[in-house]
């Protein structure tokens, strides 16, 4: 029964007509999985006036885009999206269906899996094809990042997973890539599950997406207070990075929640990650250990962060960081 299901499908999440980062990351991973399976990649794109995004999806790795446009899809709501994607799954029978583990994807995924009656693995950080069975091997953290679990969905199709943003790597955009675009026909069926969006409240502060930053200067409890983040900001400006922080810094109200790195915050993999006054709780390390290069500064020689840092400096951040900022400025001016 599972044999008739073919192809790797991804949900191309867009908000206000812009594709989210994880949508492109999914295409990168889907390409690897499709190569292992000898099949191709299809992106499923829904919204109002979003047709011009189809080419972008092809340029980032989709072989085919299934497009559904409807004025009622101006804002994401659960039921119409679930209806359309369920219809697409029933018609095209994908073997694998991947969704970004965003505030939208983690609402949509379970609703679709519930309706189709298939398994869904949440918030995966690793996806592979099992050699003999060709099943999708889905790896995810559990127990606050303390434990990793490998999960299979052997007898139900599609094999569905939501994938944590910032973990998979998107392909380099290829403007010469071509693909097929299919307009999907479907009439929404109005029912008790439709809801009305009465108001959209945008965050007023211009937000920095720490997942896009190449260098992050992250502060934790050891920074001591919101006013002390200034010295991290100075270092960030000197080196060309952004400021982020641990849950301790966010819970204390020192920095905004959107800047939180960790299991309950964001997963980041910058080229360089400074962990300053961060002890290294497992839930924090779950969000940054894939960084290319980690420098930790902490006065406690036994801090857990030193176990994963490439360079660990035991010392007083209030002395070291300002001097480091000056040295970097001097180097840059040479």
Residue 107's CB is within 10 A of a number of other CB atoms, namely 15
Our finding on whether 246 is near another protein (CB under 8 A) is: no
Interaction residues for another protein, span 20-79 (CB under 8 A): 75-79
Selected binder of another protein within 29, 64, 111, 284 (CB under 8 A): 111
Q: Give the integer Cα–Cα distance in Å for 138 and 190.
A: 35
Q: Give the integer Cα–Cα distance in Å for 267 and 19.
A: 19
Selected binder of another protein within 119, 166, 179, 262 (CB under 8 A): 119
Our finding on whether 208 is near another protein (CB under 8 A) is: no
Q: Given the DSSP bridges, would you call strands 120-124 and 159-163 parallel, antiparallel or unpaired?
A: parallel
Q: Is the CB of 54 or the CB of 261 nearer to another protein?
A: 261
CB 29 within 8 Å of CB 170: no
Q: Which of the ranges 34-42, 142-150, 180-188, 223-231 carries the binding residues for another protein, by CB under 8 A?
A: 142-150
CB 13 within 8 Å of CB 102: yes
Our finding on whether 188 is near another protein (CB under 8 A) is: no
Selected binder of another protein within 154, 189, 212, 300 (CB under 8 A): 154
Our finding on whether 328 is near another protein (CB under 8 A) is: yes
Q: Give the integer Cα–Cα distance in Å for 195 and 208.
A: 31
Closest separation in Å from C-beta 3 to another protein: 17
Selected binder of another protein within 176, 178, 187, 192 (CB under 8 A): 192
Selected binder of another protein within 195, 212, 225, 300 (CB under 8 A): 195
Residue 106 phi/psi, 5° resolution?
-80, -10
Our finding on whether 324 is near another protein (CB under 8 A) is: yes
HSE (CB half, 13 Å, CA atoms) of 52? 4
Contact pattern for another protein over residues 273 through 302, marking x by CB under 8 A: --------xxx--x--x---xxx-----x-
Our finding on whether 9 is near another protein (CB under 8 A) is: no
Cα→Cα distances 253→45, 102, 201, 233, Å = 38, 23, 22, 17
């Amino acid at each position: 029964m599972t044999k008739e299901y073919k192809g790797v499908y991804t949900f191309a999440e867009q908000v206000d007509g812009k594709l989210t980062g994880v949508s492109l990351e999914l295409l990168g991973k889907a390409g690897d999985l499709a190569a292992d399976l000898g099949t191709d990649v299809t992106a499923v794109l829904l919204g109002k006036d979003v047709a011009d995004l189809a080419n972008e999806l092809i340029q980032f790795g989709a072989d085919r885009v299934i497009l559904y446009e409807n004025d009622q899809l101006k804002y994401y709501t659960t039921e119409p999206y679930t209806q359309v994607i369920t219809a697409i799954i029933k018609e095209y029978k994908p073997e694998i269906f991947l969704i970004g583990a965003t505030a939208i994807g983690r609402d949509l995924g379970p609703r679709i899996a519930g309706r189709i009656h298939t398994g869904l693995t949440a918030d995966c950080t690793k996806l592979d094809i099992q050699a003999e069975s060709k099943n999708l091997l889905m790896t995810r953290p559990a127990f606050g990042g303390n434990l990793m679990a490998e999960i299979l969905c052997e007898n139900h199709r599609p094999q569905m997973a939501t994938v944590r943003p910032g973990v998979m790597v998107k392909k380099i955009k290829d403007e010469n890539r071509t693909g097929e675009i299919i307009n999907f026909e479907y009439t929404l069926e109005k029912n008790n599950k439709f809801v009305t969006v009465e108001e959209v409240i945008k965050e007023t502060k211009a937000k920095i997406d720490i997942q896009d930053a190449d260098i992050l200067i992250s502060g934790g409890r050891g920074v001591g207070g919101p006013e002390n983040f200034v010295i991290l900001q100075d270092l960030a400006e000197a080196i060309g990075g952004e400021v982020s922080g641990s849950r301790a810094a966010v819970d204390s109200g020192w920095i905004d929640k959107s800047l939180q790195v960790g299991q309950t915050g964001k997963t980041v993999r910058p080229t360089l990650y400074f962990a300053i006054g961060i002890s290294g709780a497992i839930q924090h390390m779950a969000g940054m250990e894939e960084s290319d290069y980690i420098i930790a500064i902490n006065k406690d020689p036994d801090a857990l962060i030193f176990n994963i840092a490439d360079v660990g400096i035991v010392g007083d951040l209030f002395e070291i960081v300002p001097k480091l900022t000056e040295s970097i400025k001097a180097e840059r001016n040479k």
